[in-house]
């Protein structure tokens, strides 16, 4: 489970990312990314990367949907330390995600994060 500050929680949060974000597609999932998010401290939300993970009924049964979301949450959690703040991301799982191995999924997510310029640069 992602920590509460790293989660998109309301329908309005998800809709804002869908409408204002850029879409990136892979074989296993689709990601909408909204960059440069400036949220007011009044809302109780800090400038951390925030994620929402979705698996529609097309993905399969409830067990399969929950498995897909659990896999994606784990992969996102591993990437958190290497990410910039101030962006929001919604990941929509495809049914092919359940057949993929975790290394492939990690690489796909890393490619998207790199393409969107969301990964921190390593200091040499």
Domain ranges of the chain: 4-115
| 4 phi/psi in degrees, rounded to 5 | -55, -40
Q: Pick the closest to residue 14 from 38, 28, 33 (CA basis).
A: 33
Question: How far is 66 from 95, CA to CA, in rounded Å?
Answer: 12
Per-residue pLDDT averaged across 102-121, rounded? 92
Provide CATH code, domain 4-115: 3.30.230.10
**pLDDT digits over 33-81, tens only?**
998 776 656 555 567 899 999 999 999 999 999 999 999 999 999 999 8
What is the rounded CA–CA span in Å between residue 27 and residue 108?
9
Asked whether the predicted pLDDT for residue 106 surpasses 90, the reply is yes
């Amino acid at each position: 489970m992602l920590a509460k500050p790293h989660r998109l929680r309301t329908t309005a949060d998800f809709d804002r990312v869908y409408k204002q974000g850029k879409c990136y597609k892979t074989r296993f999932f689709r990601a909408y990314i909204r960059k440069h998010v400036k949220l007011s401290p009044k809302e109780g939300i800090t400038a951390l990367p925030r994620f929402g993970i979705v698996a529609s009924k097309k993905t399969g049964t409830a067990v399969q949907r929950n498995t897909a979301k659990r896999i994606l949450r784990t992969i996102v959690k591993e990437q958190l330390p290497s990410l910039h703040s101030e962006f929001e991301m919604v990941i929509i799982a495809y049914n092919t995600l359940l057949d993929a191995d975790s290394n492939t999924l990690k690489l796909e997510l890393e490619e998207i994060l790199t393409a969107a310029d969301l990964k921190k640069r390593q200091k040499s």
